[in-house]
Amino acid sequence: MTVTGPDRSGVTAAFFRVLAAHRVQLLDVEQSQFRGRLALAALVGFNADNEEMLRVGLTETMRAYGMQITVELSEELSPTRPMSTHAVVVLGSPVTAQHISAIGQTLADYGANIDTIRGISDYPVTGIELLVTVANPEPGGGVSLRKALAQLTASLGIDIAIERAGLQRRSKRLICFDCDSTLITGEVIEMLAAHAGKEAEVKEVTDRAMRGELDFEESLRERVAVLEGLDASIIDDVARDIQLTPGARTTIRTLKRMGYRAAVVSGGFIQVLEGLAADLELDYVRANTLEIVDGKLTGKVVGEIVDRAAKARFLTEFAADAGLHMHQTVAVGDGANDIDMLSAAGLGIAFNAKPALKEIADTSVNHPYMDEILHILGISREEIDSEDLAEGTYRRVPLSAQS
């Protein structure tokens, strides 16, 4: 039985009141409301002798509410609802019918069926989530589809993420961020180098390291060397100038409400990040340590270098400390030195990343808004805004200034 029409108070109660009068057994029910329109469907069992009276009673009752009803009879049960194997999240500004058409055709080409569609975001980008069932539901069965959707991402200019649906998707409880050009908009080493008049020189080395063309430790020591002799007070100046990536505060606040642990692992410097980590209430922070002697930077770092391998190891340590399995972790980064960390995580997200990282990441975000990570995890804008309104933290700022 399917009821459709304008949503009004009392429609659902009236529908079930008629069913109750005829001692109907409920087998499955679903109701949805879309911008003032109601759709209510029920799979029921009843005595065939009551069919006509039930049909008449429903038709007359629903007509009084301005609703239409259809009844389909069968002596065999309809197939059970599909258990979707994957979630596909589409994010863009804008998302057009052409985009969804291309994605739908690609899904069909690989034998995947779209089970449900819902809108999950209207800000800062449009977000649509499709729950789908792939032809081969076994682990790894969606690999070829994932590659095809990744190619669409580039050609359509939107972000498309796909991951397995079900409990595993909802079980994630630790997120670990790279810092420079991920959690924050700039590169701390370049900001420090600017005080030495060597910003352009250091940026060139940074770019090569992030592309994977240089060993990270070697490049770090080379860049830090130019800071020799600078007054340590510049650390505080740089810390004050740090700008969070748009949506970073919202993302961390929302995930921590859900019980997530949040971490940052950076090839930058702990002296610069300590205040930021405290402000964001991060649970774990790891970064390099600048050597300071007599109030001056020596141009050296002390202790273990936080390089590509160390980032992955720290993620593993954080998960163990939190009592989590690795499939419950999310890692977000932008450069080649994040490859091991994203590979180790249950979900690796390349954030406006270099090609070397995109190649191995589970999915990529190519818009400058960290909120997209929430939508990839299946969290809707409505849920985010509802909690922010309740706690007095709600705001929608111009996108160029969003944080």
Per-residue DSSP letters for 239-251? Answer: HHH--BPTTHHHH
Residues 293 and 235 in one domain: yes
Report the pLDDT value the prediction gives residue 148, as an integer from 0 to 100: 94
Residues 203 and 152 in one domain: no
256 domain residue, yes or no: yes
Dihedral sign, Cα of residue 248, residue 322, residue 264, residue 151 = negative
Report the pLDDT value the prediction gives residue 216, as an integer from 0 to 100: 86
Last residue of a domain, one of 151, 170, 189: 170
Q: Which amino acid is at 247?
A: G
Mean pLDDT of the chain: 93
Report the pLDDT value the prediction gives residue 110, as an integer from 0 to 100: 95
Residue 165: band (very low, low, confident or very high) from pLDDT cuts 50, 70, 90: very high
* Active-site residue list: 178, 180
Q: d(Cα 374, Cα 257) in Å, to the nearest integer?
A: 12
Q: Which of 103-112, 140-149, 213-222 has the highest mean pLDDT?
A: 103-112
Q: d(Cα 257, Cα 310) in Å, to the nearest integer?
A: 28
Report the pLDDT value the prediction gives residue 78, as an integer from 0 to 100: 66
Average pLDDT rounded to a whole number, residues 188-199: 89
Q: d(Cα 364, Cα 348) in Å, to the nearest integer?
A: 9
Q: Which CB contacts under 8 angstroms, 24+ apart, belong to 383-388?
A: 384/250, 384/254, 387/254, 387/257, 388/250, 388/253
Residues 319 and 367 in one domain: yes
pTM for this model (two decimals): 0.90
Residue 399: band (very low, low, confident or very high) from pLDDT cuts 50, 70, 90: low
Domain interval for residue 62? 2-70
Q: pLDDT (tens digit, 9 = 90+) per residue, 335-387?
A: 999 999 999 999 999 999 999 999 999 999 999 999 999 999 999 999 999 99
Task: Select the more confidently predicted residue: 32 or 83.
Answer: 32
Average pLDDT rounded to a whole number, residues 73-93: 85
Determine which of 154-168, 198-212, 388-402 has the lowest per-residue pLDDT on average: 388-402
Determine which of 75-84, 204-213, 233-242 has the lowest per-residue pLDDT on average: 75-84
Tell me the H-state helices in 157-257.
167-170, 188-194, 199-210, 216-225, 234-241, 248-257
383 domain residue, yes or no: yes
Residues 133 and 146 in one domain: yes
Residues 261 and 164 in one domain: no
Report the pLDDT value the prediction gives residue 141, as an integer from 0 to 100: 77
Residue 403: band (very low, low, confident or very high) from pLDDT cuts 50, 70, 90: very low
Q: pLDDT (tens digit, 9 = 90+) per residue, 260-287?
A: 999 999 999 999 999 999 999 999 999 9
Average pLDDT rounded to a whole number, residues 56-81: 88
Q: What is the CA radius of gyration of the chain?
A: 26
CA angle 156, 363, 218 (to 5 degrees): 115
Closest to 308 in 3D by CA, of 347, 351, 265, 244:
265
Q: pLDDT (tens digit, 9 = 90+) per residue, 250-264?
A: 999 999 999 999 999
Task: Select the more confidently predicted residue: 288 or 395.
Answer: 288
Residues 234 and 328 in one domain: yes
Closest to 69 in 3D by CA, of 84, 50, 54, 48:
54
Residue 400: band (very low, low, confident or very high) from pLDDT cuts 50, 70, 90: low
pLDDT score of 401 more than 80: no
Q: d(Cα 272, Cα 186) in Å, to the nearest integer?
A: 13
Residues 145 and 178 in one domain: no
Residues 163 and 212 in one domain: no
75 domain residue, yes or no: no
How close are the terminal C-alpha atoms of the chain, in Å?
47
Q: How many CA atoms lie within 13 A of 131 on its CB side?
A: 15
Burial class (CB in 10 A: 0-12, 13-18, 19+), 308: buried
Average pLDDT rounded to a whole number, residues 302-314: 96
Count up the domains in the chain and report the number. Answer: 3
Structure tokens at 283: 């649970």
Q: d(Cα 56, Cα 271) in Å, to the nearest integer?
A: 75
Place of tokens 């070397």: 356
Residues 343 and 362 in one domain: yes
Residues 336 and 208 in one domain: yes
Q: What is the DSSP letter of 157?
A: T
Report the pLDDT value the prediction gives residue 43, as an integer from 0 to 100: 94
Specify the 3-state DSSP secondary structure of 396: coil
Residues 179 and 163 in one domain: no
